[in-house]
Chains A and B, each alone.
Chain A
């Protein structure tokens, strides 16, 4: 029986060669993924489901905040242009208004960071998302258009679960998280249209703090979250 043992020099060289590209990958993978996500969002048809996903997370954040603050969700509506509407009863108006854009940023961060932790965690989080979509359809969707949009999103997550190996599932979920994050980073800027409507205007009515301040707050929170994710992803990669 012959056992091939590599020489010490060979071992050293193989170690150094495997370390160098991995460290480069670890350093720049997040920014490359962010760039890819940004490019995907510029594509005409491919970007549409991801805009719907951000819109869904935005509205479900309003709704979940209403539930957490003692209110209830009456219905959730989604529109093909990426707009949405959450009808609630009761709860804290301030927190519900604040958590639309804030919640979408949180969902983006959660998607990316949980997908980065472990493959099993990514899988479990995908199943949790499927459950959330199903609950939304059963409890809060009242019209066919919203039903169609949520079914498309459900199909997207199910396809990610079924047709990708666990390694790619992790990467796909990370990418989805970044897409949601970029969308939620940019979407508050649409409120700067000179028309007093939307969550910024609602918060301005409640607090007498101008809409612009709220928009800037959401934008910079989104930027800060992106920066933090880049650091977290680098640490997780190094641990692997």
Chain B
């Protein structure tokens, strides 16, 4: 930015030598433009600082988030596992059938076994004795 301004001034210098009023006006313009450029530079600097600050703030936030994320899953996981265990035990307790139902299932399966035994006996022409 500074280089650009000086170039402008150098390019405008021969014109200033011919006319004093115009030189003054040009100087004023130059000052104004310089101030504007300075202002713009300052504002840009401020913006960049603000950006950096905001970035730092974001960085801090990210760290904090990372920390929270590290801590939370374990605690949440524990709770989850406990909950899932409880649920499992509850479910298993809920799912365990009564003896009467077990007997019914075994009887049902034994019918299937008898059918399988008959099939084996028919296919191989043998008798099975338990």
Contact = CB atoms under 8 A, between A and B. Distances in A.
Contacts of B14: none
B127 A199 contact: no
A196 B129 contact: no
B128 A87 contact: yes
A202 B113 CA distance: 14
Report, as a range, how many residues of chain A touch the other chain: 20 to 34
B110 A85 contact: no
Contacts of B107: 194-195
Interface residues of B, number: 12
A128 B86 CA distance: 60
A83 B130 CA distance: 7
Contact of A74 (B106, B110, B126): B126
Contacts of A195: 106-107, 110
Contacts of B106: 195
Contacts of B126: 74, 87-89
Interface in A58-87: 59, 62, 66, 71, 74, 83-87
B113 A85 contact: no
B67 interface: no
Contacts of A66: 127
Nearest to A59: B129
Contacts of A62: 129
A89 B123 CA distance: 12
Contacts of A146: none
A199 B129 CA distance: 7
Contacts of A59: 129
A85 B103 CA distance: 23
B125 interface: yes
A5 to B, nearest CB: 67
Interface stretch (A92-100, A129-137, A169-177): A92-100
A125 to B, nearest CB: 25
B129 A197 contact: no
A196 B110 contact: yes
Interface string A83-122: 1111111010100110010000000000000000000000
Contact of B130 (A71, A85, A91): A85
Interface in A199-217: 199, 202
Given A194-B107, A197-B110, A197-B114, A84 B125 contact: no
A194 B103 contact: yes
A155 interface: no
Interface in B89-130: 103, 106-107, 110, 113-114, 125-130
B85 to A, nearest CB: 32
Interface of B: 103, 106-107, 110, 113-114, 125-130
Interface of A: 59, 62, 66, 71, 74, 83-89, 91, 93, 96-97, 100, 194-199, 202
15 contacts: A62-B129, A85-B130, A86-B128, A86-B130, A87-B126, A88-B127, A89-B126, A89-B127, A96-B129, A100-B130, A195-B110, A197-B130, A198-B130, A199-B129, A202-B129
